[in-house]
Chain A
Amino acid sequence: MAYVDWMIRGPKIGACSCSYGCPCEFNALPTNGDCEGLEAHRVDEGWFGDVRLDGLIIGARYRWPGPVHEGGGVVQGIIDQRASEAQRDALFAILGGKEQEPMNRQNCYGVLFDVAYGPNGIIDDGVAAQGRGRIT
């Protein structure tokens, strides 16, 4: 299948409810049985078709009642307020798992959510590569 050509590259910070060394990374079960997490990416370089995405920041917060692969999750994507409408659509397509192979990371997560809220959050602060950031 032909997809819109896209790419994003840049640093990311993530945190979840598991103990250090999240067991899910190893295909073990989450530390406390369920999974709650959030993350932010800075797109240093990126595009979606003809739309450039350089410099934008995206985030997501999510919750699953059990291990991620059992599904039933809830997610909310968060898009930089500086994004134009075209950039917003592009980023939400990527975050939502569209225009990509099954089991690509965003798609893999995308199909495991029962509920996906629209991007109503805005990011007004930079996300430093050192692992500090703020989403308001």
Chain B
Amino acid sequence: MTPWEIKGREFGNCNCAYGCPCQFNALPTHGHCRGLAVFDIEEGYHGTTRLDGLKAAGIFRWPGPIHEGKGECVHVIEPRATPEQRDALLRILRGEDTAPGATVFQVFASTCDKQHEPIIADIDFELDIEARTARARIDGVLDMRGAPILNPVTGAEHRVRIEQPNGFEFAEAEVGRGWSSARGPVSYELADTYGQFARIHLCQNGMVR
């Protein structure tokens, strides 16, 4: 198993209510899950291949709760990645070189019956985790926007976090809301639903602590 590690930041949006129940092992708000995420890698490697500065995305859909499987997904890699970087990133995203259940990539990939051919496309991505704002754009593939939750009575920004000390994705995420338009092989629209803004630090054995 080739060792790897990535440290970066992500914005994710799914079709659940704010505070996605799946984070607590409850069932998804509408019975099924549609979710996508974009992340950048500040520092990373896979074996001898450096991954610093690259970005990637994944678009997912499951007919029920994620853990019941039968999902489909497509990953997006940037064209500026070399063939070695592309292969390395795809191995990580597809849960290869990873202990079972150790990363969100491995868990998601293992619950997807169909993994579409990866898309190679430029990724525009802006993220401010503290402010709970994000914007992502991949021409012809996705548009995403993230914003803080607003209090329904006062209209004030609501700040709330989810901590996952034993998680497989993030140790702590700022929770907000998001809007997404996903096109291509896995396509759907999301409007004003769960948004997650987090630092990620993962390796072949899971979260790096």
Contacts and interface: CB of A to CB of B under 8 A. Distances in A.
Interface string A95-118: 000000001000000000000000
Given A21-B24, A25-B160, A69 B19 contact: no
A21 B153 contact: no
Nearest to B151: A27
Tell me if A's interface is mostly helix, strand, loop or mixed. Answer: loop
Tell me if B's interface is mostly helix, strand, loop or mixed. Answer: loop
Contact of A27 (B23, B27, B29, B150): B150
B32 interface: no
Most chain A beta-carbon contacts within 10 A, residue among B25, B26, B149, B158: B26
A20 B19 contact: no
Contacts, number: 47
Interface in A27-48: 27-29, 31
B17 interface: yes
Nearest to B193: A28
B118 interface: no
A3 interface: no
Interface size class of A (residues with CB under 8 A): 10 to 19
A26 B160 contact: yes
Contacts of A28: 17-19
A23 B25 CA distance: 13
A20 B150 CA distance: 22
Interface in A1-33: 19-23, 25-29, 31
B195 to A, nearest CB: 10
Contacts of B160: 25-27
Interface in B1-34: 17-21, 23-27, 29
Interface in B131-146: none
A65 B49 CA distance: 58
B17 A26 contact: yes
B161 to A, nearest CB: 10
Contact of B149 (A21, A27, A29): A27
10 contacts: A19-B26, A20-B25, A21-B24, A25-B19, A26-B18, A26-B160, A27-B151, A27-B152, A67-B152, A103-B154
Which 10 A/B pairs are nearest by Cβ-Cβ distance? A26-B19, A21-B24, A20-B24, A28-B17, A26-B18, A19-B26, A28-B18, A20-B26, A27-B158, A23-B17
